[in-house]
Structure 1
């Protein structure tokens, strides 16, 4: 059994900071459960191009407002607390924070822990 508390991760190597977000990594590849779980904050007034071409991501918003826009179709979806979206087709998208947002993110395959988006908006492939 694994037991962790968010406050134990904040400000440590498991709290990955980028210009538009920070992600507190709660479960990772080395935990051996087959997926990773992140508590992610998206900063208000930001826009990030993301393309998880090597991962499937499920995102559940628990706080704040924003939108996701699919790059290929330009379709937009409002994000608010209680909204779930799953990028099961590896959709390239823009993520925009209208207010600060807090998201619970699950990645398959599991992330190793230090990933940040590359120039294409992707995390590197993990095996």
Structure 2
């Protein structure tokens, strides 16, 4: 059994802050935990507006608090994000995330992250060579 406290994880190397200043992510469950997915509590800072394209990962995102929107770059549709909203990037969707308020998000990645990843120039996380 794995038991972790969010506050303890925030005060450890499991907390990653994006170099671009848009978000921070506390990685509660990682590849090394052997579950086949990773689980993160991510804060998207107010007024963040950034493109992402997870070419190597699938992600589901549940909004715990805050408001914003996600825009699909493939069809131009915008979807409001508020507490209780789930969006799933099940087709490696190119998207823009905008935070009108600071947002707290619970995120699941498959394949799991190792823990220190940040977005590359395409807005993706690199795929771990061991996962290939």
**1:1-127 → structure 2 map (5 Å cutoff):** 1-18=1-18, 19-126=21-128, 127=131
SS of the residue 2:74 aligns to: coil
CA distance in 2, matches of 1:22, 1:123: 14
Tell me the CA shift for residue 10 of structure 1. 1.1
Deviation at 1:68, TM superposition (A): 0.2
Q: How many Å separate the matches in 2 of 1:11 and 1:27?
A: 15
What is the aligned residue count?
Answer: 127
Runs of 5+ consecutive residues of structure 1 not aligned to the other structure: none
> CA shift at 1:11, angstroms?
3.1
Q: C-alpha deviations, 1:68-126, integer Å up to 9, x for none?
A: 00112111000000000110000010000000000000000000000000000000013
Structure 1: how far apart are the matches of 2:65 and 2:11?
A: 21
Give, in angstroms, the shift of residue 55 of structure 1: 0.4
TM-score, scaled relative to structure 1: 0.98
TM-score normalised per structure 2: 0.95
Structure 2 unaligned blocks of 5 or more: none
User: Cα deviations across residues 46-84 of structure 1 (Å, max 9, x unaligned)?
Assistant: 111111110000000000000000112111000000000
Measured in 1, the distance between the counterparts of 2:117 and 2:94 equals: 17
How far apart in 1 are the matches of 2:118 and 2:23?
A: 10
